[in-house]
Chain A
Amino acid sequence: MTSTTDTPAPPFVPLGATVMTEPESGGSDGRGPGGPGGPGGPGRHGWRGWRDRRRARRLQGGPDAGSTGDRGIISISDHRRPSIRRTTRVVHGVLLALLVVAGLGPLLWLLKAAVTPTQDTLRTPMAIFPNGIDWQNLVTAWTTIHIDVQFLNTVIVAAGAWAVQLVVAATGGYALSVLKPRYGRIVYGLVLATLFVPAVVLLVPLYLTILHPPLIGTSLLNTFWAVWLPAGASAFNVVLMKRFFDNLPREIFEAARMDGAGPFRLFWSIVLPMSRPIIGVVSVFAIIAAWKDYLWPMLVLTVPAMQPLSVRLPALQQTIELDVYLAALAISTLIPIALFVIFQRLFLRSAGLGGAIKG
């Protein structure tokens, strides 16, 4: 896919980018790699491209447009009435203002406070740069407080957890959905059963498992494996993958088998390339979850030099000055926000998909 080649590098970007250019597939209709069919084409990310694609889709009468048409609660004839039009316009304006204040406001404040001297933030928190900008905060946070180390740790934690989750979900989903061994139903039932066990039940036994892992003999405490491996036991990912594989056309598998493809070839050359949309969704879930996690990494990564941002930041609040601390908070927010802005549609679709699966 063209859009993947020009993007430099973090491993999850190409996957996400590919999904972005898929036509609205709802994640599970099995259309697979239907080419970069979105009229936006490659490289048309961001707001403009999004709008164009959406419009074009509506014109084509894609699945999104087909079900809703252009109307909602308020009918077209309602829209012609000036009083209703005025009211809706006011309501939408107020709504937008509230969303800006609530959604963007705190983050803008954080950005401002990150480059404001401590005394200004304490005395006049809502004033905008009363005594000028202090860029030094960001530098101090990055170099002296060594947020750079924590930042790198966060990336390592997220990347490893992502890889483990993807391997487990993809191979497991493939085995359960396509290979279908006789014990598959029992395994799938056991995987589903874990969905009903609250995470807190696992906390202590999992901690003791990390202290005394089976077969290995040495404690995994203060190794990244302690975060990576348990992340793989995500029933949600396996369910998503299996359901997606279930919807892939069986004829293609049969044809590949006729041509002599074994299970490994089938997996690598047929199933995986067709599964980019779902791999993108699982990747988003995995990376966000790893970036957010706090309690578990706090328990198993006790050495500050290995801790990710989320674990280190609460410990920093007592020891460093407020302005540098806020700069550190701002830096920690940057990557998730940037990922969200770039892959907005994928994020929002994943969030909606999460609801659809739960529902």
Chain B
Amino acid sequence: MSTLERPARTPRRSPVSWVRRGGLSNLLFMLPLLVIFGVFSWKPIVEAVVMSLQKTNLVSPATFIGLDNYVKVLSDPQLGQAALNTLYFAALALLFGYPVPLVVAVLMSEVKRARGLYSALAYLPVVVPPVVAVLLWKVFYNADPTGPFNTVLSWVGIPPQPWLQSAASAMPSLVLEATWAAAGGTIIIYLAALTSVSPDLYDAAEIDGAGIWKKVWHVTLPQLRGVLLITFILQIIGTAQVFLEPFLFTNGGPANSTSTILLLIYRYAFQNSLGGNYGAATALSVLLAVFLAVFSLIYFRLTKSWSSE
């Protein structure tokens, strides 16, 4: 790397003057980053694209097969179902998970005493390791009439629900847990943004005769616009890659109602009795990445004028 840089600055350079100018120590400090990112980030990203054009299973040597992996993945009958399920998860997650943290954060920002207690309580589920959270909720979702959730429902006269056992209620159950696990982080982000809203704006709104609701609608929410736009796209990108919940709660069942894109990728690569179909797995992951990149690009283009004002 250093040899590339040398001729540019002064015409007469030797390795000795390069070392004397600090080139060696610069490189030494850069080395851990270059090695770790090189081996575990940059090289795998390039390899992913290459592998998606190859037939590889570690048994026989890799051969280039053009776009065959992409054709195979796109014509897989499971893809449609997995894509629809992922969309459904993302849509439900928006429905449950997008408004709740906002409302809670706005209410919390008005708490004067012991706000730290409120924040801590809201953030607590985020601290629980995700695997533990899923396994614990799996116990909660016990579909027997004596399951924890069904017991609570019986107190208010609601009959036992099948939760994870039926194709109709499995996905909403997954989303409910995912929302519980993630809402705290979003609440804290909104709270941080809310404290930076200038009080002058509220003063000004009051002089114009605005009540509390008008202040929320015309001052608070517009001031949060930037954060709201970002959390929206981050949530989409996150939910498009949901793996843990469908994998641990239902493993895609019942009747494939919770199989997602990532579950499909995982199965191509690691649950194949014929040896991993690594080409198909990387092809689908590259497709997902491209889709998300295009989606984000369009999203930011569309919302550009809206967020900058």
Contact = CB atoms under 8 A, between A and B. Distances in A.
Interface of A: 47, 50-51, 54, 64, 67-75, 78, 84, 88, 91-92, 95-96, 99-100, 102-104, 106-107, 109-110, 113, 122-126, 164, 167-168, 171-172, 174-176, 179, 181-184, 187, 190-191, 194, 196-209, 211, 213-214, 229-230, 232-233, 235, 238, 262-264, 267, 288, 291-292, 294-295, 299, 309-311, 313-314, 317, 322, 326, 329, 332-333, 336-337, 339-341, 344-345, 347-348, 351-356, 358-359
Contacts of B219: 73
A238 B26 CA distance: 16
Contact of B131 (A74, A314, A347, A355): A314
A232 to B, nearest CB: 4
Nearest to A291: B129
The 7 A-B residue pairs with the shortest CB-CB distance, nearest first, are A355-B189, A172-B33, A352-B192, A205-B44, A205-B47, A175-B29, A233-B41
A322 B215 CA distance: 51
Nearest to A331: B132
A355 B118 contact: no
Nearest to A169: B33
B256 to A, nearest CB: 20
Interface residues of B, number: 116
20 contacts: A72-B202, A104-B121, A106-B136, A168-B36, A168-B37, A176-B30, A181-B5, A190-B37, A200-B262, A203-B269, A204-B269, A205-B51, A229-B40, A263-B29, A288-B127, A291-B129, A299-B270, A310-B129, A351-B123, A356-B192
A73 B286 CA distance: 46
B4 A317 contact: no
A198 B242 CA distance: 12
Contact of A326 (B4, B40, B139, B266): B139
A238 B33 CA distance: 9
B254 to A, nearest CB: 18
B265 A203 contact: yes
Interface stretch (B77-85, B157-165, B277-285): B277-285
B17 interface: no
Contacts of B108: 95
Given A68-B199, A175-B29, A205-B282, A197 B45 contact: yes
B48 A204 contact: yes
A78 B212 CA distance: 9
B44 A179 contact: no
Contacts of B32: 167-168, 171-172, 232
Interface stretch (B90-98, B146-154, B167-175): B146-154
B126 to A, nearest CB: 8
B289 A197 contact: yes
B109 interface: yes
Given A184-B30, A205-B48, A355-B192, 10 more contacts: A73-B215, A95-B118, A124-B151, A171-B32, A191-B37, A208-B58, A233-B37, A262-B25, A313-B132, A353-B192
Interface in B95-114: 104, 106-112, 114
B29 A73 contact: no
Contact of B135 (A69, A184, A329): A329
Interface of B is mostly: helix
Nearest to A336: B127
A232 B237 contact: no
A198 B41 contact: no
Q: Tell me the dominant secondary structure on chain A's binding face.
A: helix
A206 B40 contact: yes
B265 A125 contact: no
B36 A88 contact: no
Contacts of A176: 30
B22 A179 contact: yes
A73 B109 contact: yes
B106 A73 contact: yes
A156 to B, nearest CB: 16
Interface of B: 1, 4-5, 8-9, 22-23, 25-27, 29-34, 36-37, 39-45, 47-48, 51, 58, 104, 106-112, 114, 116-132, 135-140, 142, 144, 146-148, 151-152, 180, 184-185, 188-199, 202-203, 206, 212, 215-216, 219-220, 226-227, 230-231, 234, 237, 241, 243-244, 248, 262, 265-266, 269-270, 276, 278, 281-282, 285-286, 288-289, 292-293
Given A71-B199, A126-B148, A107 B193 contact: no
Contact of A181 (B26, B43, B126, B193): B26
B125 A103 contact: yes
Contact of A99 (B106, B122, B198): B122
Contact of A263 (B22, B140, B188, B278): B22
A345 B23 CA distance: 41
B33 A201 contact: no
B186 to A, nearest CB: 8
A313 to B, nearest CB: 6
A202 B129 contact: no
A296 to B, nearest CB: 11
B215 A92 contact: no
Nearest to A263: B25
Contacts of B44: 201-202, 205-206, 209
Nearest to A127: B151
A197 B33 CA distance: 18
Contact of A122 (B31, B125, B128, B146): B146
